[in-house]
């Protein structure tokens, strides 16, 4: 093999389903010198991360911290700690990530009851109520913002139904957190996970999670040990809790980045940030409509941070994406599963959600489509 040259990443505008662009100060934070994972300065910073995550999740849950791993690690963390072989679990599926959640539950040995809606539609609370009739499942799992389809399912009523059935409520907020309202305490969410690379605008690599006291009790009073050593909350608590004993070597630079990203989110203010996401979504929708293009997901429940743009008849969607990337340095995503070839997934997440980016994309799309 020839000796490789230094890698230089091209400058892209990240307007796909994630990662989104990171703020310069977040990238700069990653270039700080490393300290040890038990260094007093690092431990102090970990405390600040936990506090800021509680503010962003809108929770007082003590067990709130970032799992070392991407969003899928947060999903597995919640499932492996809460679910034991033979448990009944209800999983809502209206896209790729609901499917993944069901598979993870199955791999934990759960008997999974699936509540399904067509891709692009939300999960209706009445569907969950029906699935819960005569059942006492351990947990109900829901993807708040389905990144594969651009649909935002309302949570509160489903969470209420889960609790009435004696189940824990698990929520995926990988794409929703910091881009629209996520209120863990008000919605009584027992287990929640997210990812750093979407509306938090940080590189991928950490998965913020939060467990209620009730969920923690479930994890602490299991019949069997948690099958994953790496994701066992009882062990992780030794590091992220007050004891501060070695469990694994925390990804130091990623935690610097998350600290700075959370600081920026709180400096902007949650509601101001959500409003910004809404306004840029509306700007995109208006511009698309002028070009005769629309959004494929259910009206009234369309995500601000992930827009499922309908590909016009006769257009080769992959070729448009390639031209956007090659000639305009803009990344957008393709449709998945039944939506493959039918939509472009346009992310307006965190730093990427700016009016000038919307205009740049609309201009580029117009010039490609007019050809
Ligand atoms: C809703 C949702 N859940 C889970 C995941 C998995 O996260 P990751 O790819 O960071 O492992 C994603 C990733 O796009 C997602 O959008």
Per-residue pLDDT of 36-61, as tens digits, reads 999 999 999 999 999 999 999 999 99
By most ligand atoms within 8 Å of CB, the mutation choice from 17, 91, 147 for ligand 1 is 147
Domain boundary among 266, 299, 319: 266
Cβ neighbours of residue 3 closer than 8 Å, sequence gap 6 or more:
none
**How far apart, in Å, are the Cα atoms of 293 and each of 153, 335, 344?**
23, 16, 11
Residue by residue, DSSP assigns 205-256 as: -EEEEEE-HHHHHHHHT-SS--S-STT-HHHHHHHHSSS---SS---HHHHH
- Ligand 1 centroid – CA 2 distance (Å): 36
* Mutational test site, ligand 1, from 174, 335, 345, max ligand atoms within 8 Å of CB: 174
Residues with CB under 6 A from ligand 1: 17-18, 70-72, 75, 97, 143, 147, 172, 174-175, 195, 204
Residues 317 and 250 in one domain: no
- 195 and 286 in a single domain? The answer is no
Atom of ligand 1 minimally distant from the CA of 207: 10
Residues 121 and 210 in one domain: yes
Question: Domain boundary at 266, 294, 315, which?
Answer: 266
The arithmetic mean of pLDDT across residues 352-368, rounded, is 98
Looking at the fold, whether 93 and 200 belong to one and the same domain comes out as: yes
What DSSP element (H or E) covers 163? helix 156-164
In angstroms, the CA 96 to CA 112 distance is 16
Q: pLDDT at residue 154 above 90?
A: yes
- Dihedral over Cα of 274, 275, 280, 283: its sign: positive
Task: Kindly report the CATH number assigned to the domain that includes residue 227.
Answer: 3.40.640.10
Task: Please check whether residues 256 and 275 belong to one and the same domain.
Answer: no
pLDDT for the residue 317: 96
Q: pTM of the prediction?
A: 0.98
Looking at the chain, how many residues does it have? 371
Q: The tokens of 54 are what?
A: 């509680």
Assess if residue 339 is contained within a domain. yes
pLDDT at site 176: 98
Judge whether 1 lies within some domain: no
Plot region of 85 (φ>0 → left; ψ -120 to 50 → alpha; else → beta) = beta
Q: What is the pLDDT of residue 2?
A: 87
Token pair 């009073």 is found at 221
Residue with CA at minimum distance from ligand 1 atom 5: 71
Determine contact, residues 348/281, Cβ cutoff 8 Å: yes
**C-alpha of residue 71 to centroid of ligand 1, in Å:** 5
Percent of the chain predicted with pLDDT > 70: 100
Report which ligand 1 atom has the smallest distance to the Cα of 75. Answer: 4
Asked if residue 260 belongs to a domain, the reply is yes
Half-sphere exposure for 24 (CA within 13 Å, toward CB): 1
CA of 54 to the centre of ligand 1 (A): 20
Same domain, 254 and 346: no
Q: What CATH number should be reported for the domain holding residue 316?
A: 3.90.1150.10
Closest C-alpha to 142, from 161, 133, 341, 339: 161
Q: How many CA atoms does the CB half-sphere of 266 hold within 13 Å? A: 16
Q: Same domain for 246 and 301?
A: no
The verdict on 180 and 288 lying in the same domain is no
Domain that holds residue 290: 13-17+270-370
């Amino acid at each position: 093999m020839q000796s490789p040259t230094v890698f230089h990443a091209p400058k892209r505008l990240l307007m796909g389903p994630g990662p989104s662009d990171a703020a310069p100060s977040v990238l700069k934070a990653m270039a700080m010198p490393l300290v040890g994972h038990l260094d007093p300065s690092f431990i102090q910073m970990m405390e600040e991360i936990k506090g800021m995550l509680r503010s962003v999740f809108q929770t007082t849950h003590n067990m709130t911290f970032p799992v070392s791993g991407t969003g899928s690690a947060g999903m597995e963390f919640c499932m492996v700690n809460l679910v034991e072989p033979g448990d009944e679990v209800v999983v809502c599926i209206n896209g790729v990530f609901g499917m993944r959640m069901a598979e993870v539950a199955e791999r934990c040995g759960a008997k999974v009851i699936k509540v399904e809606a067509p891709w692009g539609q939300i999960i209706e609370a009445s569907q969950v109520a029906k699935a819960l009739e005569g059942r006492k499942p351990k947990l109900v799992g829901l993807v708040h913002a389905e990144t594969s389809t651009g649909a935002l399912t309302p949570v509160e009523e489903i969470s209420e139904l889960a609790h009435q059935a004696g189940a824990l409520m698990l929520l995926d907020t990988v794409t929703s957190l910091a881009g629209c309202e996520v209120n863990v305490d008000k919605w009584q969410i027992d287990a929640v996970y997210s990812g750093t690379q979407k509306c938090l605008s940080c590189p991928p690599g950490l998965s913020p999670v939060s467990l209620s006291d009730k969920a923690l009790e479930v994890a602490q009073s299991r019949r069997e040990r948690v099958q994953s050593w790496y994701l066992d909350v009882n062990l992780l608590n030794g590091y992220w809790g007050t004891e501060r004993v070695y469990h694994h070597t925390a990804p130091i630079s990623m935690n610097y980045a998350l600290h700075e990203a959370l600081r920026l989110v709180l400096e902007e203010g949650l509601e101001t940030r959500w409003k910004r996401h809404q306004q840029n979504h509306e700007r995109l929708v208006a511009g698309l409509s002028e070009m005769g293009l629309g959004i494929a997901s259910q009206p009234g429940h369309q995500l601000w941070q992930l827009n499922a743009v309908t590909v016009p008849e006769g257009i080769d969607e992959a070729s448009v994406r390639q031209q956007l990337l090659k000639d305009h340095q803009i990344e957008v995503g393709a449709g998945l599963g039944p939506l493959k070839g039918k939509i472009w997934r346009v992310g307006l997440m965190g730093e990427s959600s700016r009016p000038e980016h919307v205009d740049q994309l609309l201009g580029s799309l117009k010039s490609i489509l007019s050809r």
